[in-house]
Amino acid sequence: MSEQIIEMNEVNKWFDDFHVLKDINLTVAPKQKIVVCGPSGSGKSTLIRCINRLEVHQKGKIVVDGIELSEDTKNIEQIRAEVGMVFQQFNLFPHLSILDNCTLAPIWVKKTPKKKAEELALRELEKVQIQDQAKKFPGQLSGGQQQRAAIARALCMRPKIMLFDEPTSALDPEMIKEVLDAMVNLAKAGMTMIVVTHEMGFAKEVADEVIFMDEGMIVERANTKEFFANPKSDRTKVFLSQIL
Amino acid sequence: MMNKLNFLKPDRKNLNTYLYSGSFLFFIAIFDVFLSSFFKINITSFLPNLVSFLLPLILGILGLHLIRIEFSGIKNLDLLNKNINTNNFNATLTLIIIFAIIKSIAPVTSWFFIDANIAGDTKEACTGSGACWTYIKIWLRRFIYGMYPNELQWRINISFILLIALAFVGYFPSEKLRKFLTLYYVAIYPIIAFILIYYLISGGTFGLVWVETGAWGGLSLTFIVSFFCLIFCFPVGMFLALGRRSQLPTVRYISVGFIEFWRGVPLITVLFMSSVMFPMFLPEDFFMDKLVRVIIAISLFEAAYVAEVIRGGLQALPRGQYDAAKSLGMGYWKMHIFVILPQALKLVIPGIANTFLALVKDTPLIFVVGLLELVGMLNLAKTNPEWLGFAMEGYVFAAIIFWIICYAMSKYSYNLELKYKTDR
Ligand SMILES: Nc1ncnc2c1ncn2[C@@H]1O[C@H](COP(=O)(O)OP(=O)(O)OP(=O)(O)O)[C@@H](O)[C@H]1O
Ligand SMILES: [Mg+2]
């Protein structure tokens, strides 16, 4: 057994003829925080969606927490219960209150008793400071509140790993900070995180390592300080000069 | 010339003059039509025929033109001008509609009420030139209960009263029982309904005389057939919709094949086959009542339509909803039961209501297998030698009944829509 919580080995993925992921090798140790950046269409979303098998890879091997991803649905559901995900578009369930959004999966997937699930949900909502919105419906919340609710919903499953796919890209500037704050707190609490984002301030503050992707390949992976201080590849330099 | 142009362009200055002369012309026009339709008096008979016929319209248009005063300051007049009198074309349409209503009120009321008969209990009681409601009155039992024996009709009454009462159970459950409501309506209630109908209406046990389904009929049969078809076609349609979107090719092809087959054949053929062809495939000693066969046939037929309606709703959900549910570890069924279907079904309430209304109005077709519901009984009654010539009354009666049923359903679906509305 290795001590890595995520291992991707020579992972390849195609959308029909289009080669999205090319020979991806990626290992993540427990409690590591990794930020993934890169130009649009470079395959960042696809990469992290492969980790909880929202996308299926065609070649290579992905092992999450000692379980290899395969056709076996039992394994997939087990891994998904351990890997939380936060989306760009929040994807809260609009027909359920915030509290029900947070308790649905714990109750029906993890078989947590309803009372306990609600206590847990309120505690998680409190951590992201929207416990007073618990009874409201997603449509009645601001974007920032919705995204924090989505984070709380994922955390209610007590995941070992959290995946974030551009969690602040759909938000107005004044709401970005409240979401990033919630993520910083989560990082400080020791969560393993993979974050796709263009918020370089966030990367500098919490990331252990930064990965730069382009055209389906991992071009560069480096320690955060190193990555920003002296990037090795030319493409990284160009990208950083555009974004900073 | 100037004067004339001024006259054609009403303004605020001479507001009262225009208002009074316009209204006067308008009311003359209405009055003329009113007299001719209610009292058959033509006050303009001295004019040539065509002019006399068109005069109310001309006067009316002129009148409406005169009162078309912008910003008159009189609230009702402005409202009227804005909504039905914006220009000469609209004014003409308005007048024609008003005249049509006045013209039709007289014959309709006299047919329905004034010249109609309801007393007596033979055909001879109907002396008026209007409707003969006596016919409906005498045949009412048949129209409601079909050939079900008179002295046993209390069994149908009790069953229906019980069923209606049980349908309202959902309104007063305690907090604790609330979560069983769906189970109750989806599973328990239909079973109770079936038991009631099987033991009470059909009979044959507990000392109740057996009444064969061939004797059932009329409105009560309309209800029974519609009720069970609605209940069965919905879940079947839902599974077909899910099947059509399934990842498993076998499931998908079977669903597509099933849906396209049933959508491609006319209902009347399906019913005919259910009574003629279907028994040929069954073992010799296997018996299935024709009412049951008909209900199965209609349910499967309508299920194909329901499936396509529900598929539309599933299609409308953003992919993010599936992603979020999956990312929380929900499997196929949990995802659909708790996340996808509640949202999709809410979206398709109007479409489902549409299909259900069509279903209710399709039930008369069961006459092809010899089952006579409301319309079937009407057709039977109208050929009765003692009551020939009252088809019109029968069809009007049926139309009113069907309209009430369908309007109630459509109101109900509208309420459901409001109740489950959520902001996105
Ligand atoms: N379901 C799909 N079918 C076909 N092509 C897809 C699909 N999803 C993504 N792609 C393509 O794969 C490529 C990588 O997409 P991906 O969403 O991973 O990019 P990204 O790096 O996340 O970009 P962005 O920063 O814009 O979100 C894109 O060119 C995209 O067009
Ligand atoms: Mg993306």
pLDDT tens digits, one per residue of B388-420: 777 788 888 889 999 999 999 999 888 888 887
CATH number of B133-148+211-419: 1.10.3720.10
Percent of chain B residues topping a pLDDT of 70 = 95
How does residue A1 score in pLDDT terms, banded at 50, 70 and 90?
A: very low
Residue A244 C-alpha, separation from nearest chain B C-alpha, in angstroms = 30
What tens digit of pLDDT does each residue of A6-47 get? Answer: 999 999 999 989 999 999 999 999 999 999 999 999 999 999
- A51/A79 Cα distance (integer angstroms): 9
* Chain mean pLDDT for chain B: 83
Check CB contact of A81 with chain B, cutoff 8 Å: yes
Surface-to-core class of residue A16, CB atoms within 10 Å of its CB (0-12 exposed, 13-18 middle, 19+ buried): exposed
E runs forming strands in B191-312: 217
Query: Which string of b and e fits A132-164 if b means at least 16 CB within 10 Å?
Result: ebbeebbeebebbbbbbbbbbbbbbbebbbbbb
Q: How far is the CA of A43 from the centre of ligand 1 (A)?
A: 6
- B152/B139 Cα distance (integer angstroms): 17
Check CB contact of A137 with chain B, cutoff 8 Å: yes
- B275/A54 Cα distance (integer angstroms): 49
Domain limits, CATH 1.10.3720.10, in chain B: 133-148+211-419
Phi, psi at residue A223, to the nearest 5°?
-50, 140
Query: Where does B131-217 have alpha helices with state H?
Result: 133-145, 153-167, 181-183, 189-195
How does residue A2 score in pLDDT terms, banded at 50, 70 and 90?
A: low
E runs forming strands in B258-343: none
Please state the separation of Cα B197 from the chain's center in Å.
25
The reported pLDDT for the residue numbered B8 is: 62
Instruction: Give the dihedral sign, CA B138/B142/B147/B151.
Output: negative
DSSP labels, B52-100: HHHHHHHHHHHHHHHT--TT-S-HHHHHHHHHH-SSHHHHHHHHHHHHH
**Among partner residues B320, B329, B423, which is closest to A109 by beta-carbon distance?**
B329
Q: Say if residue A186's pLDDT is above 50.
A: yes
What tens digit of pLDDT does each residue of A57-111 get? Answer: 999 999 998 888 888 878 888 899 999 999 999 999 999 999 999 999 999 999 9
Taking an 8 Å cut-off on Cβ atoms, the answer to whether B346 and A153 are in contact is no
**Among partner residues B329, B339, B420, which is closest to A93 by beta-carbon distance?**
B339
Check CB contact of B423 with chain A, cutoff 8 Å: yes
Distance from the first to the final alpha carbon of chain B: 63
DSSP labels, A211-227: EEEETTEEEEEEEHHHH
Residue B326 C-alpha, separation from nearest chain A C-alpha, in angstroms = 7
Check CB contact of B77 with chain A, cutoff 8 Å: no
Question: Would the ipTM clear 0.90, i.e. be above it?
Answer: yes
**Among partner residues A85, A105, A140, which is closest to B330 by beta-carbon distance?**
A105
The reported pLDDT for the residue numbered B218 is: 85
Q: Say if residue B93's pLDDT is above 70.
A: yes
The reported pLDDT for the residue numbered B1 is: 42
Please name which ligand lies nearest the alpha carbon of A36.
Answer: 1
How does residue B424 score in pLDDT terms, banded at 50, 70 and 90?
A: low
The arithmetic mean of pLDDT across residues B37-49, rounded, is 79
Q: Which of residues 41-70 of A touch B (CB under 8 A)?
A: 49, 52, 54
Residue A236 neighbours by CB under 8 Å, 6+ apart: A212, A219, A220, A227
**Among partner residues A73, A83, A95, which is closest to B331 by beta-carbon distance?**
A73
Q: How far is the CA of A22 from the centre of ligand 1 (A)?
A: 14
- A237/A212 Cα distance (integer angstroms): 10
Taking an 8 Å cut-off on Cβ atoms, the answer to whether A109 and B328 are in contact is yes
**3-state SS assignment for residue A152:** helix
Substitution target from B246, B317, B327 for chain A, most A beta carbons within 10 A: B327
Question: For residue A67, what is the DSSP state?
Answer: E
The reported pLDDT for the residue numbered B374 is: 84
The reported pLDDT for the residue numbered B216 is: 83
The reported pLDDT for the residue numbered B18 is: 83
Taking an 8 Å cut-off on Cβ atoms, the answer to whether B328 and A78 are in contact is no
- B303/B76 Cα distance (integer angstroms): 51
The reported pLDDT for the residue numbered B113 is: 79
What tens digit of pLDDT does each residue of A98-130 get? Answer: 999 999 999 999 999 999 999 999 999 999 999
Instruction: Give the dihedral sign, CA B217/B222/B227/B230.
Output: positive
Substitution target from A91, A137, A165 for chain B, most B beta carbons within 10 A: A91
More confident site: B67 or A112:
A112
How does residue B6 score in pLDDT terms, banded at 50, 70 and 90?
A: low
